[in-house]
């Protein structure tokens, strides 16, 4: 087995940095020349698929479209479709009486005012660039910026994140950017003295670690991290992070799907016997940037849309303000976003929302060359040109197996069946929301803390995943001061003479409060998350009741934070099967389902959302919603939503020449 070493270090990082850039130019990358990239058209073009495309006329076959699921992904898809193809008739099918899916915010009255509890997601990450741009644009267009609870990167919630190990809270080293000298010294001390960072220095042995065998197509994330960086890093640090995002077990989740870039970097330069750290270092020294090709494609398509005569984006987020934010939410919680979306969709001609209507089958009607959506609650089945499903693999299996004799999709092979079954993994999470009258309940400030899998069981018999300090992200502390901030969005309009969009100089004046916050009551809000993968094997009868969960949360808070006080309000809710868990082999499952969608539904049944993208964040939901609307608008029936699993690709951009190459993972 090849082992990386000093020779590879020298070759990768030093020698090649001194070489002229001689890589073949396979495409020109997007070059936005405007200050924010918003006010000028992109330059250049190329015959390759990552070039900035021109926007084709809307697909004439997309007349009627069904969307399955009225959560964030379904609503955002309807929003984008209605903008992209305004003449199309869109029907949303939602099983429940309420729209919004897992997004659910509740306002609770207490003696001194109101407190907002979140039962699902609570904040949206303000990630750089294309990862969060679709969400931010939607927020601006829905006119929600006045109610934005904006947590800056300097806030305690952004800078102070804790892990609990083995019996105390440990503050994670502060990000170097913006850190004071004392922060830096404290971080070094933490890494040198805390057992949490035991054997942390093993990560520097990574370049000498054997590369994975060429035949290995996926492995558990925990094994991957242990193999490259050491078991302690996997169990103490990575496991806590994946408890926070997936409530998942790193030894069951797919490394290929959840650590895509690292997985690629490990084997990218096999002949050079390289390593992940060396590849990162080499890229830095050689002024190369690497990104997932699907994200680059999204950016290119977005540039085309942004600068097309339709100029459908009249308001774009102002990077000057959003670059300063860490996370955000809204005055009335995240449900304000789905409510605003719902309201906009209800006002839009051509959109029908069918609540309390569960979809049971989707069949391909060969005679009409259309898709039929069947639901027991709505006896009149309807036919559509396209169906977009945000439902999981279990529903997809049901659709494939649908036994309508007229339906060629009614038969399915065992491989597709197995892929649907295998990828249909999820966890239950118990959410416990607590409110205390005492505003000074906590002696520390920050986002909250996560609990790694390596914590001794006597320190976490409740099997909690983490505790969030809700008051810190509710706007009471460190929110961006609105009156002294630049405007949250830039107003654009299309200049017919110049044939390009221009920035409108006047902004609408802001007349809201200085600080926007969620709670009017001054106390402290905490949320305990419990269960997740720890409860995978538990029978329903073994799961705690909501009352028991509240007791367990209080015992945990006494042990970890020394909180003796009784909460004024305590509520719990068990979210069943709420977070999909991409298992080892997930990418292969998705490739199999992609083929089946093409052959059984001619690519006109498209899938999207956390079940299919392997990423549970709300930003991802909205980004892929926009991507799906483009796929239908541009008549790209070869895109099912799973096409990226067929051949994972990455774009390497060489900064001095602005040329790029594409790398593929086999
Ligand atoms: C506890 C928790 C905390 C989270 N925290 C965060 C966070 O802080 N930040 C973040 O970015 N993300 C977070 N997430 C993830 C985020 O909430 C989800 O990614 C997002 O809400 C998924 O939206 P969706 O529309 O794809 O799915 P869902 O919300 O599951 O919506 C799917 C909809 O389909 C409906 N449906 C199901 N079956 C049928 C059927 N047969 N017919 C018709 N309709 C059907 C359901 O009723 C539901 O309304 C969190 C998730 C959970 C559960």
pLDDT digits (tens, 9 = 90+) for 351-397: 999 999 999 999 999 889 999 999 988 766 699 999 999 999 999 99
Interval between CA 427 and ligand 1 midpoint (Å): 13
Decide if 509 contacts 468 (C-beta within 8 A): no
Q: Classify residue 239 by burial, with Cβ atoms within 10 Å: 0-12, 13-18, 19+.
A: buried
Query: What's the confidence (pLDDT) of residue 37?
Result: 42
Assigned token pair, 26: 């396979």
Q: Report how far ligand 1's centroid is from the alpha carbon of 455 (Å).
A: 29
| Cα-based distances in Å from 71 to 247, 341, 342, 572, 642 | 20, 10, 10, 21, 20
Nearest CA to ligand 1 atom 49: 101
Q: Are 150 and 158 in contact (CB under 8 A)?
A: no
Residue of minimum CA distance from atom 21 in ligand 1: 102
Does ligand 1 come within 6 angstroms of the Cβ of 73?
Answer: yes
Q: Is 70 in the pocket of ligand 1 (CB under 6 A)?
A: yes
DSSP 236: I
**Cβ of 335 less than 6 Å from ligand 1:** no
Alpha carbon of 181 to those of 154, 170, 498: distances in Å?
15, 19, 51
Q: If you measure from the C-alpha of residue 120 to the centroid of ligand 1, how many angstroms do you get, rounded to a whole number?
A: 8
- Cα of 97 from ligand 1 centre, angstroms: 15
Atom of ligand 1 nearest to the CA of 609: 26
**pLDDT the model gives residue 629:** 97
Regarding the beta carbon of 42 and ligand 1, being less than 6 Å apart is answered no
Which of 355, 361, 615, 618 for mutating ligand 1's site (highest number of atoms within 8 Å of CB)? Answer: 618
Does the C-beta of 579 come closer than 6 Å to ligand 1? yes
Where b means 16+ CB within 10 Å and e means fewer, 25-57 reads eebbbbebeeeebbbbbbeeeeeeebbbbebee
Determine if ligand 1 sits within 6 Å of the CB of residue 580.
no
Question: How far does residue 376's CA lie from ligand 1's centre (Å)?
Answer: 23
The closest-lying atom of ligand 1 relative to the alpha carbon of residue 395 is 41
Q: Which tokens belong to 89?
A: 């008739």
Q: Evaluate whether 573 touches 119 at the Cβ level (below 8 Å).
A: yes
Taking the CB of residue 340, how many other CB atoms lie within 10 A of it?
21
Report the C-alpha gap between 382 and 370 in whole angstroms.
10
3-state helix, strand, coil in the chain (%, to 5): 35, 25, 40
Ligand 1 pocket residue status of 69, Cβ below 6 Å: yes
Q: 102 in ligand 1 pocket by Cβ < 6 Å?
A: yes
pLDDT score for 483 = 78
Q: Contact 174/343 with Cβ under 8 angstroms?
A: no
Q: Which pLDDT score, from 0 to 100, does residue 478 have?
A: 62
621 CB within 6 A, ligand 1: yes
- Name residue 113's beta-bridge partners: 110
Cα–ligand 1 centroid distance for 448 (angstroms): 23
Q: Whose CA is nearest to atom 8 of ligand 1?
A: 121
185 alpha carbon, distance to own chain's centre: 33
Give me ligand 1 centre to Cα 101, in Å: 5
| Nearest one of 597, 607, 542, 575 to 426, comparing CA atoms | 575
pLDDT at 376: 85
Nearest atom of ligand 1 to the alpha carbon of 122: 8
- Contact partners, residue 351, CB within 8 Å, separation at least 6: 78, 82, 89, 90, 91, 92, 345
Q: Ligand 1: distance of its center to the CA of 29 in Å?
A: 35
DSSP 8-state symbol, 578: E
Flag residues of the chain having pLDDT under 70: 1-49, 310-312, 379-381, 403-412, 477-479, 506-507, 666
Angle at 57 between CA 54 and CA 59, to 5 degrees: 120
> Is 95 near ligand 1, meaning CB less than 6 Å away?
yes
């Amino acid at each position: 087995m090849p082992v990386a070493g000093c020779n590879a270090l020298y070759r990768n990082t030093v020698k090649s940095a001194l070489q002229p850039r001689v890589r073949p130019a396979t495409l020109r990358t997007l070059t936005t020349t405007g200050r924010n990239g918003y006010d000028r058209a992109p330059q250049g073009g190329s015959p390759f698929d990552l070039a900035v495309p021109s926007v084709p006329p809307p697909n004439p076959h997309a007349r009627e479209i069904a969307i399955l699921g009225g959560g964030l992904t379904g609503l955002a898809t309807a929003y984008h479709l209605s903008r992209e193809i305004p003449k199309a008739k869109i029907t949303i099918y939602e099983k429940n009486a309420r729209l919004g899916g897992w997004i659910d915010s509740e306002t609770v009255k207490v003696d001194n005012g109101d407190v907002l509890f979140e039962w699902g997601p609570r904040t949206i990450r303000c990630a750089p660039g294309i990862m969060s741009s679709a969400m931010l644009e939607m927020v601006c267009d829905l006119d929600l910026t006045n109610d934005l609870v904006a947590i800056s990167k300097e806030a305690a919630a952004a800078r102070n994140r804790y892990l609990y190990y083995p019996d105390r809270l440990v503050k994670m080293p502060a990000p170097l950017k913006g850190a004071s000298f004392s922060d830096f010294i404290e971080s070094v001390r933490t890494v040198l003295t805390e057992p949490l960072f035991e054997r942390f220095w093993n990560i520097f042995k990574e370049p000498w670690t054997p590369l994975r065998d060429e035949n290995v197509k996926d492995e558990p994330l925990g094994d991957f991290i242990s193999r490259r960086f050491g078991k302690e890093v996997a169990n103490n640090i990575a496991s806590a992070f994946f408890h926070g995002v997936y409530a998942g077990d790193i030894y069951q989740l797919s490394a290929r799907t959840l650590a895509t870039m690292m997985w690629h970097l490990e084997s990218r330069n096999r002949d050079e016997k390289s390593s992940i750290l060396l590849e990162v270092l080499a890229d830095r020294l050689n002024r190369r940037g690497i990104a997932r090709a699907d994200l680059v494609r999204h950016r290119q398509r977005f540039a085309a849309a942004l600068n097309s005569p339709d100029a459908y984006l009249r308001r774009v987020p102002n990077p000057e303000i959003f670059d300063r934010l860490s996370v955000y939410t809204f005055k009335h919680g995240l449900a304000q976003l789905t409510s605003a979306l719902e309201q906009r969709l209800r006002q839009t001609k051509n959109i029908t929302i069918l609540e309390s209507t569960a979809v049971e089958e989707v069949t391909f009607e060969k005679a009409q060359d259309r898709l039929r959506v069947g639901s027991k609650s709505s006896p009149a089945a309807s036919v559509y040109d396209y169906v977009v499903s945000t439902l999981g693999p279990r529903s997809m299996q049901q659709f494939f197996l649908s036994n309508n004799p007229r339906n060629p999709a009614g038969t399915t092979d065992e491989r597709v069946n197995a892929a649907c079954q295998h990828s249909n993994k999820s966890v239950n999470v118990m959410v416990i929301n607590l409110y205390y009258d005492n505003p000074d309940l906590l002696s520390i400030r920050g986002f909250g803390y996560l609990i790694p899998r390596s914590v001794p069981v006597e320190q976490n018999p409740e099997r909690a995943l983490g505790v969030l300090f809700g008051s810190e992200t509710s706007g009471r502390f460190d929110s961006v001061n609105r009156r002294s901030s630049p405007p949250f969005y830039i107003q654009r309009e299309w200049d017919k003479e110049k044939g390009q969009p221009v920035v409108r100089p006047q902004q609408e004046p802001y007349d809201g409060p200085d600080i926007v916050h969620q709670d009017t009551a001054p106390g402290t809000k905490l949320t305990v998350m419990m269960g997740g993968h720890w409860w995978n094997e538990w029978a329903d009868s073994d799961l705690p009741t909501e009352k028991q969960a509240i007791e367990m949360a209080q015992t945990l808070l006494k042990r970890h934070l020394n909180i003796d006080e009784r909460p004024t309000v305590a509520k719990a809710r068990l979210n069943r099967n709420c977070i999909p868990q991409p298992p080892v082999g997930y990418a292969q499952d998705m490739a199999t389902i992609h083929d089946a969608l093409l052959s059984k539904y001619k690519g006109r049944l498209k899938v999207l959302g956390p079940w299919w993208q392997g990423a549970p964040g709300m930003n991802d939901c909205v980004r892929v919603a926009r991507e799906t609307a483009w796929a239908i608008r541009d008549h790209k029936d070869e895109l099912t939503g799973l096409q990226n699993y067929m051949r994972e690709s990455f774009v390497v951009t060489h900064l001095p020449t602005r040329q790029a190459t594409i790398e593929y993972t086999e």
